[in-house]
Amino acid sequence: KNQVEQSPQSLIILEGKNCTLQCNYTVSPFSNLRWYKQDTGRGPVSLTIMTFSENTKSNGRYTATLDADTKQSSLHITASQLSDSASYICVVSPDATNKLIFGTGTLLAVQP
C-alpha cells in the first residue's frame, strides 16, 4: 500500500530556532516528492518539489532533502518565525498518475 509517514506529529519550538521534519514513504513507483505548508482552515501551499534525481531543494528558509534510495525526505526550517506555525505535509506523486499522496502532516507551533 502506498503510504507517506511523517514525524514528529507535532512540534513546538521557540522563535528563531531551527527544526527538521521527517518523511518516510513507501510509494512505488515514484515520480516526485513535495512539501506543502497548510495554515489552519486554508488550502496547502507548495514549498518544494523534487524529482528522484534531486537531493536537495531550497525555498528561502526552507530546505528539503531527498534520499530516493532509503525513501526518506526531510524539511529543514531555519531561523523560525511566528508565521511558520502551520501544518507541514509531505506529498509523494507516483509516476505518471498526476495524483498526490499526502502524509498526515507535522503540526508546527512557533512560540515567541
Q: Smallest Cα–Cα separation from 88: which of 101, 99, 104, 72?
A: 104
Note whether 96 binds another protein by CB under 8 A: yes
Assign 3-state DSSP to the chain and report helix, strand, coil percentages, each to 5. 5, 55, 40
43, with CB counted inside 10 A (0-12, 13-18, 19+), is: exposed
Residue with smaller CB distance to another protein, 70 or 98? 98
d(CA 58, CA 1): 30
Binding mask 4-33 for another protein (x = CB under 8 A): x--------------------------xx-
- Window of 16-24, 58-66, 72-80, 101-109 that interacts with another protein by CB under 8 A: 101-109
Q: Are 102 and 2 in contact (CB under 8 A)?
A: no
Q: Which of positions 33-52 make contact with another protein (CB under 8 A)?
A: 41-46, 49, 51
Cα 75 to Cα 90: distance, rounded to the nearest angstrom: 9
Q: Does 60 bind another protein (CB under 8 A)?
A: no
The residue among 18 and 55 lying less far from another protein, judged by its C-beta, is 55
Smallest distance from another protein to CB 102, Å = 3
> Which residues here bind another protein, judged by CB under 8 A?
4, 31-32, 41-46, 49, 51, 89, 91, 93, 95-105
